[in-house]
Structure 1
């Protein structure tokens, strides 16, 4: 008989759904979608989560939570009360504090307390990259700063296992068309803080210095679209979010993929682009250099000249680098690798 896992999430992103599908292959899974929002919405969601936990947790073997945030504290407390095991997947916002762009759960005292206590008292953390535990960010600001839950959570002693995200190389693959001298970046952007966090402002500056190349931003909406259109150079196009089929087509025609974020976990879009054969350019933060390795170009500091040089080098690189980018993903970031490591870790936890 399959053991029971309670799966708690606050959104239905692709990478979360992939984990849910993996677990359903090996366990009986009950899922709860926590809906954050206003204070009233949060309170309502917490009550709904509490009743759901009270009904389901007695017969469960593990509570599996995506992100440490408002929604993680109740499952952790209930797991302790009912002597059940718990695991939290760290995603990024639960491992940073960057007030300059209003990013990180620890900027709000109560929210940060919920996340910190959840991380401190859960049985296992599952970060997608070692940097979410501890890192020094020398890219985002003039002076380097320490980040990661080991720095942000007092008395941190929680066991953890790094399990990178995995990707389907049959879905994300190069096409047959000729690659354009196009640099692409993808991010969900609605406001200035998110625009700066994802490095879109620097991406636009790079584009203005390289007018003979084309640049494209995918994922902007609302205010962000207007801002980009008002400030971009003529060689930049911008579009809203697209479905995965369209995204594959864009990856297949672009020579270069650019990720100049101030902070990240392990960016899915970067890895997908590399699988499709884009030559990667990325900032030296968190999981970005882990993904790129020696198959692309790392920008060590948030500096326009360095970023321009990296994008230009990627544009003029030999075709073999495109293949190297894909091969790196296939070798180190396969979906079956995540499945194997995840299931092994869970069996070890609940045995």
Structure 2
């Protein structure tokens, strides 16, 4: 309870004058008006210079707000990282400086090389499904000496004695080391020369036009594909197994362009008489060349010395029955099965090549030789 010590001064109460002991009273009104109570400060250190603030909002109770906070500033974009903190976005200047670092450039260079290597492997794998690039390298491994000798062999094959293919272990040697090996360089150059010669002949006869030259080129190419399909279907229907591959047949079919080019040139110089004389001789030479070259690969079947799969480049290894693989000898395949079918196929190829040579060139020869040639 409250008490007032000043009211006890000067009062007598049965004793002498002096300060009496303070008496506790129970009536607050008898003590007079109380002094004002200071305002309640909820927290120590309250600064009385600021006016008392009202009660905070219910959702901010117990949180002291900053009066200098900018509530107009944009809020950060929401994060959709499923609870993970969002990384700050780098500026273009920071990205440029980071890309100029040698470590980053080295990593980007290595990563680019890996992507390029993977892409090159995918492209090569897809191309090899349809075009045997590795085998094409073998058929174009020629030199000038081989080309000259092979052209002389196709035109004058009657003096040649050795027709066997040469092998390096189980794989045939490249054409530039073996004159009897098939190649695709001479057929390709023969096709281009035939198309150019056709345009020249049509120009001399005043029949040249871009449409005509394109027709001649496309028809010659179409007949090549027709031959391939005809030979492969014949082998499949007759159930004839040989060591010949599609590229081998393409190479041997392309050698007829040499006879065709010679026939057209003879027709330009000597007229139809010279054309048919050269066509007759070149047809005999081409048939003889094909029979001598194909008989080993056709008549020996597809088996090798070990009876296994064919070695690289689609060729079969040297026959096991031949004592000297480089000698011009051959024998019937073991068992003798399908020998007649192989002989018929060999004759079929030897006959169709001269016929196609005549079919593709007879319309280019004039009835008479030009006056300058007489």
- Could you say which TM-score interval applies, normalised by the shorter chain? under 0.3
> Which structure has greater strand proportion?
1
Flag the structure with larger Rg: 2
Structure with more contact order per residue of length (Cα contacts < 8 Å, sep ≥ 6): 2
Normalized against structure 2, the TM-score is what? Answer: 0.21
> Which structure has greater helix proportion?
2
